[in-house]
Amino acid sequence: MIDPKHIQALASIVGEENVHSDKAHRVAYSYDATRERYEPDAVVFPRNEEDVSRVLRYCDEHRIAIVPRGAGSGFTGGALPVNGGIVLALERHMNQILEIDRENMLAVVQPGVINKDLQRHVEAMGLFYPPDPASEEYSTIGGNVSENAGGMRAAKYGLTKDFVMALRAVLPNGEIIRAGKRTIKDVAGYNVAGILIASEGTLAVITEITLKLLPKPRYAKSYMGIFPDVEAAMNAVFKSLANGANPVAMEFLDALVVKAVKEKLGISLPEEAGALLVGDVDGNVPEEIEFQLKILEKSFRENGAQEFRVAEDPAEREEIWKARRGASPSITMYGSKKLNEDISVPRSKLPEALERIYAIGEKYGLVVPCFGHAGDGNIHVNVMVDGSDPEQLENGHKAIREIFRLVVDMGGTLSGEHGIGLSKAEFMEIAFTPAELELFRKIKHAFDPNGILNPGKMGL
């Protein structure tokens, strides 16, 4: 526990009502979506950027660990205070949409703004912010930037990084920096904004974000391709895209997930359905929509699709997406604990990658249902185990390590959108050389020489 005098000093900076060291607050800010728990010594709610600066300066001077936190929705422990210290919670006060510039098609927001709130706000003005992580109803823009969140629309529109134009951030010593500009082009100096994106709060605390917006597409339709097996579906993914399809989303469910959603949700699918591809297309004229759907249907059928469905109204669209949204909760029928990883490989290697992943599961006697963002090569691999069986848990972790080695050998990555955080830190040596890891450590030291910001994450 940190000395109570530090709690009082922080209270003098942000106000007593914004510093809490009671048990209830420490427990409430001790976990994220990993369900692991590490209690902080206190929770601090900064009111503005100046508060952030003064809190960081104080913690740096006194070598107090400080962990920035948005909504705590991450899957890799990025917001866990593993060394105690202070959780800097940005969602209470720093949650305003500061500006919508329609002429320059951009938004300026504070880090605590909820992703979906921003989407709704700009769409009411005929604009569009595409990044849509599954946690969009509660995850914050600051957290999205810190993890470089993706989502279902990434197949066409890209990740959070593709929409960040500029940032304001506070360094551990309290200095405030600006990175990037409101201009479309900017090649002056190092790309500091690019370094801060996906840095998981280990380098600086982001206090303001300038985001690119797009015109809102006028039309959209949903589709579903039903395939006899995983290989056919995976071949259809990269071949349809190579043939000119440009879907907003192309989501994948394998045979195990299809079985689970049929049993758990009662979704009507052909008995022989072995895999699904579900997605959206959008555009500004109906002809564009029909063109995209024709390419998809032709490519899907050429690769063995048994059926190609297109939603003609909101009810049908809801039915098509029901299976994908129900994938994660449905697969709990295969085990009480889910070791959920979000590997990513080049799209053309998806058929081989999944075949080899299933083989690893068989080697350890484990079920490995897979689903996710096939349109951009990002698959959620779920190694299912009995959480009360130590041997199964050990085998599950062995399988995960083998899967990571396989993915990296295929030119892929440990994480497509969840980040590294705490849970994947031990695997960094699989993906990076000693020279690369040393470079990461030097970057960390340049920003945070005293190591107070989010220690223990990313293997740094």
Secondary structure string (H, E, C) spanning the chain = CCCHHHHHHHHHHHCHHHEECCHHHHHHCCECCCCCECCCCEEECCCCHHHHHHHHHHHHHCCCCEEEECCCCCCCCCCCCCCCCEEEECCCCCCCEEEEECCCCEEEECCCCEHHHHHHHHHCCCEECCCCCCCCCCCEHHHHHHHCCCCCCHHHHCCHHHHEEEEEEECCCCCEEEEECCCCCCCCCCCHHHHHCCCCCCCCEEEEEEEECEECCCEEEEEEEEECCHHHHHHHHHHHHHCCCCCCEEEEECHHHHHHHHHHHCCCCCCCCCEEEEEEEEECCHHHHHHHHHHHHHHHHHCCCCEEEECCCHHHHHHHHHHHHCHHHHHHHHCCEEEEEEEECCHHHHHHHHHHHHHHHHHCCCECCEEEEHHHCEEEEEEEECCCCHHHHHHHHHHHHHHHHHHHHCCCECCCCCCCCCCCHHHHHHHCCHHHHHHHHHHHHHHCCCCCECCCCCCC
pLDDT for the residue 1:
83
Tell me yes or no: is domain 97-215 CATH 3.30.465.10. yes
Give 25-40 pLDDT, tens digit per residue. Answer: 999 999 999 889 999 9
pLDDT for the residue 179:
97
pLDDT for the residue 319:
86
Give 208-229 pLDDT, tens digit per residue. Answer: 999 999 999 999 999 999 999 9
Q: Rounded mean pLDDT of 36-65? A: 98
Asked whether the predicted pLDDT for residue 422 surpasses 90, the reply is yes
Band the pLDDT of 272: cuts 50, 70, 90. confident
Give 312-331 pLDDT, tens digit per residue. Answer: 999 999 988 998 989 999 99
Asked whether the predicted pLDDT for residue 270 surpasses 80, the reply is no
Region of residue 207 (left: phi > 0; alpha: psi -120 to 50; beta: else): alpha
Q: Rounded mean pLDDT of 283-291? A: 96
Same CATH topology for 97-215 and 219-328: the answer is: no
What's the mean per-residue pLDDT of the chain? 96
- The burial of 124, by beta-carbon neighbours within 10 Å (0-12 exposed, 13-18 middle, 19 or more buried), is given as exposed
Which two tokens mark 160? 């959070």
pLDDT for the residue 268:
81
Percent of the chain whose pLDDT exceeds 90:
94
Give 93-119 pLDDT, tens digit per residue. Answer: 999 999 999 999 999 999 999 999 999
* pTM confidence score: 0.95
Nearest to 32 by CA among 276, 216, 200: 200
Instruction: For the chain, give every domain's residue range.
Output: 4-89, 97-215, 219-328, 335-431
User: How far, rounded to the nearest angstrom, does the alpha carbon of residue 320 sit from its chain's CA centroid?
Assistant: 23
pLDDT for the residue 361:
97
Asked whether the predicted pLDDT for residue 86 surpasses 90, the reply is yes
Asked whether the predicted pLDDT for residue 271 surpasses 80, the reply is no
CATH classification of 4-89, choosing from 1.20.120.1630, 3.30.43.10, 3.40.605.10, 3.40.50.300? Answer: 3.30.43.10
Give 117-169 pLDDT, tens digit per residue. Answer: 999 999 999 999 999 998 999 999 999 999 999 999 999 999 999 999 999 99
Q: Rounded mean pLDDT of 270-280? A: 90
Which phi and psi (to 5°) does residue 43 adopt?
A: -120, 130
Give 291-316 pLDDT, tens digit per residue. Answer: 999 999 999 999 999 999 999 999 99
45-59, 318-332, 417-431: the lowest-pLDDT one: 318-332
Structural fold of domain 335-431: Alpha-Beta Plaits (3.30.70)
Asked whether the predicted pLDDT for residue 457 surpasses 80, the reply is yes
Band the pLDDT of 460: cuts 50, 70, 90. confident
Asked whether the predicted pLDDT for residue 342 surpasses 90, the reply is yes
Which two tokens mark 171? 């360094």
Band the pLDDT of 267: cuts 50, 70, 90. confident
Whether residue 73 contacts residue 460, with contact meaning beta carbons closer than 8 Å, is answered with: no
Give 8-24 pLDDT, tens digit per residue. Answer: 999 999 999 999 999 99
Residue 115 CA to residue 103 CA, distance in Å, equals 22
- CATH code for residues 219-328: 3.30.70.2190
